[in-house]
Amino acid sequence: MADADSSKELVDKLHPSALLDLARGSDDKTPARFDLPTAEQLQPLFPDLEIGDVIGSGGMGCVFKARQIKLDRIIALKILPKELSDDALFTERFAREARAMARLHHNGIVGIHDFGSVQDTHYLILEYLDGSSLRALEDAGPVGADEAILMIEQICDALAYAHAEGVIHRDIKPENILFDQSGRVVLADFGLARLAMDSSAPVSLTQTRQAMGTLNYMAPEQWEDPKAVDHRADIYALGILLYEMLTGRVPRGSFPPASTLSEVPSSVDDVINRALQVDADARYQSVAEFCEALRAAAIGTPGSPLQFANHGTVTNFRHLGAALLNRLPKPTPQKSADGPVKGPWSQARIAWGFFAVCTILMLFPWTNFAWTTDHSRGIELATTDFLDLGFDAPNALMFIELLSVCLLCTFERRLHPLRARLISIVLLGFCITQSVYFTFVNTANPLFLTVFPFVFFLVVCLLTVELIVRSLYELQKQFQHQFVRAYHRYQVKEENRRRAKAERLQEWMGYWTNWMRK
């Protein structure tokens, strides 16, 4: 009965009229832009889930809290509005969001478990966060300057990772920045994220100047040329976000410097101004650069109210992680760290080029010279026409291999990286075994190998080796990421230990000086 007693005391202590005010209009706060489905309507579609309350809704649908019965874990179920499911553009965006998110594994990015559609209802199953959004925090009261900067640092960490993975968020706004009970800042809703290198999508997602991002946070180029948007649009949005968190309002037109409205040094104004440049080239060119500048501006001024030394060690080390990661070989605009190379020398184009050249050459009789695998006879001209030979065992096999490599290079992006890696290893193994067999083992039954199949062989080997090396590079990058994280954890622990020691020492010194004074 302790509960009942305490709430009775509580009701006497609190002002009843103020409590009633809390209830005023709380139903109208989330205007239903779509005919949102209810948990009861959805339940039959998801027999594996136990669907609970709506936890949010936005332009891309609504989110329910749900429990996965089999795994007994709480997840967030995101439902695409049914009215829009027929729209090819919207459905494409939905699938794109899922794929873009699935590629990102970061502590500061909402994880995705699954996506799909049941009876025209498109859904995403996401990591559930028992927390709130930055919007709620801003609604709850002004965000302090030091807190704002620490949060921006964490957002930068996550964004730097996403950018390195070739994913642009494109829709950074307080509603999409969540944090859990422990204060971990998490980026959600890569709904408008478009793979940085995927500019040749069959269905262009930005055919018109529709408001893809939220207007207040959109960089000018998102209006002017939505297709040309790169990661610097996110830096623009970060600038807006920072200004909003510091001052409580969105910068529009000629806005007062943030330092006049909040307790930050004026050097922070310069950081904001540079992030908000209309010309993307005039902005910071990477999130890490922005973060670095902000940090320097916030703590570099003597007498700054921001006391970074006293708290936020974890965040600072997180920041260090972002900076370290950023020192890794950076992806150039043409070459992304992940996925096939774009531009005139893309792997797929080289492969198909070879394929075409070799096929054309085969049609001419002068390509018929070859050598035999009979070592006693040495190199001599083959007597058989290539086209006759072409479908004989070794040539035909090599022909098929080159074709497979071409296909693999072309569709690698659609494959799971692990699967692509496996296929390329199998191909390479097959090639090597085959050439060893026909050159050294099967000498009793001499065959004629024309020159071009050998060129095929070389190309196949080179391309598959390249695929494997790239996979290894990716693995190494992941490992490095893990290593940097472990290093932060170690540093944080070390820092805490050092601080505790210093405190003890100080205490002891204080005691000692007091004693001496006496």
Partner 1 sequence: MAFPETRWSIVRRAAGKPSVETQAALEELCGAWSEPVFAFVRRRVSSREQAEDITQDFFAHIISGQLLSRASEETGRFRSFLLHALRCFLADQHDFYQAKKRGGGRIIIPIDTAELQPMQGVTPETEFDRRWVRSLLRRCLDQLAGEYAGSRRKLFEVLSDQLDAPEQRGTKQIAHELGMTDGAVRVALHRMKMRLGELIRREIADTLPPGASIDDELGQLKRILENS
**Binding to partner 1 by residue 503, rule CB under 8 A?**
no
- The residue (of 181 and 376) whose beta carbon lies closer to partner 1 is 181
Question: In the bound complex, what is the minimum distance in angstroms from residue 315's beta carbon to partner 1?
Answer: 10
Full 3-state SS string of 239-297 = HHHHHHHHHCCCCCCCCCCHHHHCCCCHHHHHHHHHHCCCCHHHCCCCHHHHHHHHHHH
> Looking at this protein, which amino acid is placed at residue 375?
H
* Residue 105 near residue 111, CB atoms below 8 Å: yes
Element (H, E) at 394: helix 393-411
Q: Does 356 bind partner 1 (CB under 8 A)?
A: no
Nearer to partner 1, 21 or 83 (CB): 21
CB of 178 to partner 1, least distance (A): 10
Tokens of 275: 């992030």
Spatial CA neighbour of 438 closest among 422, 424, 457: 457
For 477, phi and psi rounded to 5 degrees?
-65, -45
Beta bridge partners of 191: none
Q: How far is CA 447 from the centre of its chain?
A: 52
Alpha-carbon gap, residue 224 to 218, rounded angstroms: 11
Smallest separation, CB 16 to partner 1 (Å): 6
Complex with partner 1: residue 158 or 168, whichever CB lies closer: 158
Q: Which of residues 147-186 bind partner 1 (CB under 8 A)?
A: 147, 151, 179, 181-183
We find the least distance from the C-beta atom of residue 303 to partner 1, in angstroms, to be: 21
For partner 1, which is the closer residue by CB, 308 or 355? 308
Which C-beta is closer to partner 1: that of 31 or that of 202? 31
Cβ proximity to partner 1, 26 vs 210, nearer residue:
26
Which residue shows structure tokens 């000629």?
Answer: 254
Distance CA 192, CA 60 (A): 9
Binding status of residue 41 toward partner 1 by CB under 8 A = no
Counting contacts by CB under 8 A, is residue 22 touching partner 1? yes
- Bridge partners of residue 132, in order along the sequence: 179
State the nearest-atom distance from the C-beta of 191 to partner 1, in Å: 23
Q: Which residue is catalytic, options 146, 171, 189, 338?
A: 171
Q: How far is the CB of 57 from partner 1 (least distance, A)?
A: 15
- Contact between 497 and partner 1 by CB under 8 A: the answer reads no
The total of other beta-carbon atoms located within 10 Å of residue 82's CB is: 17
| Distance in Å, CB of 493 to partner 1, minimum | 17
Q: Is 72 in the site for partner 1 (CB under 8 A)?
A: no
The nearest distance, CB 272 to partner 1, in angstroms, is 20
Q: Does 19 contact partner 1 by CB under 8 A?
A: yes
User: Interface with partner 1 includes 36 (CB under 8 A)?
Assistant: no
Please tell me the distance from the alpha carbon of residue 284 to that of residue 235, in angstroms, as a whole number: 7
Asked if residue 370 lies in contact with residue 448, where contact means CB atoms within 8 angstroms, the answer is: yes
CA distance linking residue 209 with residue 327, whole number of Å: 36
Q: Which stretch binds partner 1 (CB under 8 A): 19-27, 256-264, 431-439, 496-504?
A: 19-27
302 binds partner 1 (CB under 8 A): no
Is there a catalytic annotation at residue 171? yes
Q: Is 11 in the site for partner 1 (CB under 8 A)?
A: yes
Residue 1 contacts partner 1 per CB under 8 A: no
Helices 232-247 & 145-164 angle (0-180, nearest 10) = 170
Shortest distance in whole angstroms from residue 495 CB to partner 1:
17
Under the binding rule (CB under 8 A), the answer on residue 86 touching partner 1 is no
Query: x/- binding map, residues 112-151, to partner 1, per CB under 8 A?
Result: -------------------xx---xx-xxx-xx--x---x
Of 474, 482, 389, the closest CA to residue 424 belongs to 474
Q: Are 55 and 64 in contact (CB under 8 A)?
A: yes
Closest CB to partner 1 among residues 145, 233: 145
Q: Which helix (H) or strand (E) holds 504?
A: helix 451-517
Considering only residues 219-278, where is the footprint of partner 1 by CB under 8 A?
Answer: none
Please give the Cα distance from 196 to 330 (Å, whole number): 14
User: What are the strands, taking DSSP E only, across 345-501?
Assistant: 370-372, 448-450
Candidates 3, 72, 86, 281; binder of partner 1 (CB under 8 A) is 3
Nearer of residues 179 and 236 to partner 1, judged by Cβ: 179
Torsion of CA 104, 110, 115, 121, to 10 degrees: -140
196 neighbors 164 (Cβ within 8 angstroms):
no
Identify which range of 2-10, 59-67, 227-235, 297-305 contacts partner 1 by CB under 8 A: 2-10
Residues that bind partner 1 (CB under 8 A): 3-4, 6-8, 10-11, 13-27, 131-132, 136-137, 139-141, 143-144, 147, 151, 179, 181-183
Active-site residues, by number, are 171
